[in-house]
Structure 1
Amino acid sequence: MQAVKILQHGDTDVIEYGEYPDPEVGRDEVLVDIKAAALNHLDIWTRRGLPMLDLEMPHIPGSDGAGVVVETGVDVTRFEEGDHVAVSAGVGDLRMDDPTLDPNFHIIGEHVPGVHSEYTAISEDNLIPVPEHVDWEVAGSCSLVFQTAWRMLIERAELKPDEKVLVLGASGGVGHAALQIADYAGAEVYATGSTEEKLQYAEEHGADYVCNYEEENFAKWVRAETDGAGVDVVVEHVGAPTWRDSIKSLAKGGRLVTCGGTGGGNPETDIPRIFWNQLEIIGSTMATPEQVDDVLELVWDGTFEPAIRDVLPMSETARAHEILENREGFGKVVVRPDSELK
């Protein structure tokens, strides 16, 4: 089969699309003919290399994908040939109440080979049924960011109707999902973006107030818009460049919920402000199977809409990485096997 391969850690020139051994299907695995997949910032970090990440090279990246079941292992009970499925990339002990807290929790595409290939063999526990009316680009791009944002806001931050929420980078992957979820939950939504086009998108998808962070300090903007009070929740996924201002944006008793640090993982922080204002700093990673089902049902029925900024053949995955790194446009970048586009 043809697959995207990272040959070694480095810049985009380490990405290759070419021949790779066909996957073997285990007893509890499903062989999926991938129709569409998508990139996340996680793919960039994996390509560049992360501390404690020791991968066998070449490595197939990709945590988002969807396709058709073409074969099932002998112990598979949930799927059969012809089913439409999407990947949910978190792997944890399903006997636990919260598998994301499993000490051995890991992510397909980051810690083990991913799904940016013509075919993938994957445990049935990591597949979600997809209604046949759902477009492949939607099914292949929504799982990681929508489950992450849902857990952040609904489960971890316990967002309540009429609370004020600040979503940073509201046109990015997690950002555009969090924007829609916060609006769905009945919150008053404040959003940041870097261009007028991105801010217009945010307003069309649930933002009540928008700020161009390239032109003004978003913490001062939040304080001005809330008469000095601040917001109840900040959705933080940027890290070092925004951390201090994210904390400054919080009202007394507010909650900052974070799922990553695309701009840097070791920010300076304001400890006196945290304890004096009795703030909560909450970490969040992926979601439980039940949470995944809850949020994706709302994608399948059209309540939530993944933004697709571009669709490229997998042979142009290096270009797809550049689009994300350069923050070109907004939403998800989808890649499809070259054979699907002929």
Structure 2
Amino acid sequence: MKAAVIRAFGGPEQIRIEDIPTPTPGPGQVLVKVLAAGINRLDHYVRLGQINPHLPFPHILGSDAVGEVAELGAGVSRFAIGDRVIAMPGYPTNPAEAHIRPVTAAASYAIPGTHIQGTYAQYAVVPEVWLLRDTTGLPVEQIAAMPVALLIAIRSVQIVGEVKAGDRVLIHAGASSTGIMSIQVARALGARVAVTVQNEASAKLARMLGAELVIDSGKEDFVQALAAWTDGRGVDVAIDNLGGDVLARTIEAVKPQGIIVTMGFMAGPEVTFDIRNFFFTQKQLRGTLVGDIEDFAAWLEPIRAGKIKPVIDSVLPLSDAAQAHERIAGNQARGSIVLLPWAE
């Protein structure tokens, strides 16, 4: 099969298309013919060696995939050849831990493309229990753009952030993949949404998705803008995928007893803030990762109904994987990039 592999850490030029053996499904596993593979910013950091520096080479990047069942391992009973399926972008590799929730708490939890072989390939082996039947009827490139971003959004907004109808919610990096999904999840839950962006193109996209307040963080202070928007009260919930100094200021923007959810570090992995003010106002800082397979299943109907839609920057053949990573590395992508492993 053809796959986009890296044999060393580094820039996008490290990604090469190679012919490698097609994997064989073991007991309880399914061989999936990958019809579309989504690219996430996580893949960029993995390629640089910043996530798993002990990654064995050659390695296939990518965690998001939609495809068709091509072969069944022994004991597989949930699927048939030809079924269209969505692969979960992270799961325990130890079958004995399949029951653990959240799934990220399992000791053997692994992200394809980060800890185990990924989805930038024509085929991928996935345990049967971590496949979801795709009932949306939507084009494969649309679904492939969702798994990581949507599961982060569901987990951070609905489950950890406890967002409910009427809440005022801040979402940073509103034009990022997770920001795009978080806006839509929050809106679907009945919340009023404010976002930060860095340029007018991103602002236009956020407004199109339903953001009520769009703040260009390069031109205005988002804490002051949010104070004005909430009549000085502060937002109920803040979703921060930036970290660093942005997280420190985000804590200021949240109301007393409000919730700050953090799950990113693009602005830096370290943060300093006034702990006295934090506990006097009884604010809550909560960390999170991706959601569970049940979370994705619960949102399949809203996806099918068009309430949740990806914003796709580009759809490229697998052979253009390095070019796609150049767009990610240069912050040029507006939305998700999807690879088609079988396209010429």
Query: TM-score scaled to structure 2, two decimals?
Result: 0.95
Q: In the aligned structure 2, how far is the partner of 1:97 from the partner of 1:310?
A: 34
The alpha-carbon deviation at position 154 of structure 1 amounts to: 1.0
Tell me the residue number matched to 1:36: 36
Would the aligned equivalents of 1:130 and 1:300 in 2 still touch at CA under 8 Å? no
| SS, match of residue 179 in structure 1 | helix
Unaligned stretches of 5+ in structure 2?
none
Task: Tell whether 2:173 aligns with 1:159.
Answer: no
Q: CA deviation at 1:220?
A: 1.8
Residues matched between the structures, number = 340
Match of 2:172 in 1: 168
Distance 2:101 2:15 in 1: 38
Residue 215 of structure 1: SS of its match in structure 2? Answer: coil
Amino acid in the other structure paired with 2:147:
S
Identity %: 30
Confirm whether residue 278 of structure 1 aligns to residue 255 of structure 2: no
Alignment of 1:92-103 (within 5 A): 92=92, 93-103=97-107
> Which runs of structure 2 are paired with 1:81-120 in the superposition (5 Å)?
81-92=81-92, 93-120=97-124
| Structure 1 residue 174: Cα displacement | 0.6
Contact 2:45 2:51 in 1 (8 A): no
Tell me the SS of whatever aligns to 1:24. coil
Give me the whole-angstrom Cα distance separating, in 2, the residues matched to 1:86 and 1:260.
24
2:148 matched to 1:144?
yes
Alignment of 1:168-317 (within 5 A): 168-317=172-321
Rounded to whole Å, the distance in 2 between the matches of 1:312 and 1:97 is: 35
Q: Distance in 2 between matches of 1:33 and 1:274?
A: 50
Is contact 2:46-2:52 (8 Å) kept?
no
Counterpart of 1:36, as a letter, is A
Q: d(CA) in 2 for partners of 1:162 and 1:108?
A: 37
| Conservation of the 8 A alpha-carbon contact between 1:146 and 1:295 | no
Segments of structure 1 that go 5 or more residues without pairing to the other structure are none
Q: Distance in 2 between matches of 1:161 and 1:148?
A: 20
Task: Tell me the CA shift for residue 74 of structure 1.
Answer: 1.7
Structure 2 counterpart of 1:60? 60
Segment drifting more, 82-91 vs 44-53: 44-53
Per the alignment, in what secondary structure is the counterpart of residue 220 of structure 2?
A: coil
The one-character-per-residue Cα deviations of 1:234-264 (angstroms, maximum 9, x if unpaired) are 1111111411221111111111111221232
Stretch of structure 1 that moved more, 269-278 or 59-68: 269-278
Q: Distance in 2 between matches of 1:185 and 1:132?
A: 20
Query: SS where residue 23 of structure 2 aligns?
Result: coil
Instruction: Let me know the Cα RMSD of the aligned residues.
Output: 1.5
* Counterpart amino acid of residue 250 in structure 1: V
Give how far 1:51 is off: 5.6
Distance across 2 between alignment mates of 1:316 and 1:7: 17
Query: CA 1:91–1:234 in structure 2 vs 1: closer, same or farther (change >3 Å)?
Result: same
The ranges of structure 1 where at least 4 consecutive aligned residues each deviate by more than 6 angstroms after the TM superposition are: none
Secondary structure in 2 matching 1:183: helix
In the superposition, the TM-score normalised over structure 1's length comes to 0.95
Greater alpha carbon shift after TM alignment, 5-14 vs 95-104: 95-104
